[in-house]
Amino acid sequence: MGRSVGSLLVIRRALNAFCENHHLPVEDETAIEAAQQLIAMVRAGESGPDMLLAGIEEWFSDRQGTAAALAPQADNSNHATATSQMNGEEQKSA
C-alpha cells in the first residue's frame, strides 16, 4: 500500500506543477486528461516527478499541435502570413 500512496503523491506533484505551468485549475478538462495520462505513465513504469512532468509536457505539446492542425484552413493561412512577416519575408502583391 505504501507504494500506491507514493505513486499517488508523485502523480499529484507532477499534476500540480503542470497546472501551475499552464495556469489551469485542477478541475479543468485538460488537467483531468493530464491526470489520466500521468496515471497511465506510472502504470507503464515511469517514476519520479521530473520524468512525469517532462512526459506530460510532451503529451500536452503534441495535443496542442494536433489541435492546431485541425483548426479551420482560414486560421492556418493567417498563421502562415503572420509567420512570414515575423521571419522578415515580405509578401509580394500582384
Question: 3-state SS of the chain: helix, strand, coil percent to 5?
Answer: 75, 0, 25
Residue 25 belongs to domain spanning: 2-71
- Chain segment 8-34, per-residue pLDDT in tens: 999 999 999 999 999 999 999 999 999
Given a cut of 60, whether residue 87 has pLDDT beyond it is no
The CA-atom distances, in angstroms, between 40 and each of 11, 13, 18, 35, 64 are: 10, 15, 16, 9, 19
Q: Cell 485549475, residue?
A: 25
% of the chain residues with pLDDT over 90: 54
Q: Does the residue 76 lie in any domain?
A: no
Q: Does the residue 49 lie in any domain?
A: yes
Q: Does the residue 46 lie in any domain?
A: yes
Domain count, the chain: 1
Q: Does the residue 55 lie in any domain?
A: yes
Q: Does the residue 86 lie in any domain?
A: no
